[in-house]
Amino acid sequence: MRDLVVRSPVFESNKLIPAKYSCDGDDVNPPLTVENVPEDAKSLVLIIDDPDAPMGVWNHWLVWNIPAGTREIEENSVPGVQGKNTGGRRRYGGPCPPSGTHRYFFKVFALDVELDLDAGAKKKDVENAMRGHVLAKGELLGLYHRS
């Protein structure tokens, strides 16, 4: 399986995500770039998770059927079909930890299909639909701190 390269022009891997992209700021998604997408990919999936949440892994954003030719996900955009995050909302929900430093994994998957799911599907539904169709994957780790 190939590795995708996922980056952001607003924060480096394993560094702090600017407050603008959190509940302390504008709560809009940060811009991302994706490189090394296989030519035979049919779509991309983006999943943003916080494994450090007190109640277990918290999904902040779930987007699928992003066009395979996408190399840049713009700030404050909706690049594909949005599912329901852990908060029950069909939108990006930025970092908002109760306190301390949390990790946020921006995971991108290149698939050999488009997913036949209704808008508002949950992470488990997307992961089940992706099974056996992942051509490449990559991730960017961002941090966010609240006192």
Task: Give the model confidence (pLDDT) of 65-114 as tens digits.
Answer: 999 999 999 999 999 999 999 999 999 999 999 999 999 999 999 999 99
pLDDT given at position 62: 98
Correct CATH for 2-146 of 1.20.1730.10, 3.40.50.300, 3.30.450.20, 3.90.280.10: 3.90.280.10
Cα distances (Å, whole numbers) of residue 75 to 21, 56, 92, 103, 130: 9, 27, 11, 20, 25
pLDDT given at position 59: 97
pLDDT given at position 40: 97
CB atoms inside a 10 Å sphere around CB 130:
18
Global model pTM greater than 0.85: yes
Q: What would the two tokens of residue 44 be? A: 């991309």
> For residues 110 and 37, what is the distance between their CA atoms, to the nearest angstrom?
7
> For residues 56 and 59, what is the distance between their CA atoms, to the nearest angstrom?
10
H or E stretch at 65: strand 58-67
Domain layout of the chain by residue ranges:
2-146
Q: What would the two tokens of residue 50 be? A: 């916080």
* 1 has pLDDT over 80: no
Tens digit of each residue's pLDDT (9 = 90 or more) over 18-50: 999 999 999 999 999 999 999 999 999 999 999
Residue 120 — left, alpha, or beta (φ > 0 → left; ψ -120 to 50 → alpha)? left
pLDDT given at position 147: 84
| Higher-scoring residue by pLDDT: 147, 15 | 15
